[in-house]
Amino acid sequence: MTAGSKRRVLCIEDDAEMITLIQLILDGHGYEVAGVTSGSQGLAAARTSKPDVILLDLMMPEMDGWEVYRCLKQDAALSRIPVVIVTAKAQNIDRAMALRIAKVDDYITKPFAPQELVERVEAVLSKRIASDGG
């Protein structure tokens, strides 16, 4: 990432209002947020835009978030992009499975505080930069 360039976030979320909310929150913190409303659109957008982080809803029609996540991790060009699950599934078992078994980078439940979203995205990006050697 070059100095002054915005970090790119791809939001894969079937609720257009939630995409708008995430765009409003992150735009004010120097992020460029693109949103798509289906899993297949999300995979296509990830391939073309190579975002710095992906925010992924789990409960979507047609292709659910877990299917999208598997496709991302199986694609060598996309597998290193950090994925943050943003979902209404607030059960501890869902969170534990996502973080420990599926190895998602983070898990945020809706509704969330705007500052929580910003902090979690920044933490995931910092971890990725550190693991890439700067």
Map residue 61 onto helix, strand or coil: coil
Residue 4: predicted pLDDT: 56
Alpha helix (H) residue ranges in 28-64? 39-49
Q: Is the pLDDT score of 109 beyond 70? A: yes
The second-level CATH assignment, the architecture, of 7-129 is 3-Layer(aba) Sandwich (3.40)
Give 2's pLDDT tier (boundaries 50, 70, 90). Answer: very low
- How high is the mean pLDDT of the chain? 91
**pTM, 2 dp:** 0.91
* Domain boundaries, given as residue ranges, for the chain: 7-129
Per-residue pLDDT of 46-100, as tens digits, reads: 999 999 999 999 999 889 999 999 999 999 999 999 999 999 877 777 888 887 8
Percent of the chain at pLDDT > 70 equals 96
Alpha carbon 47 to chain centroid, angstroms: 14
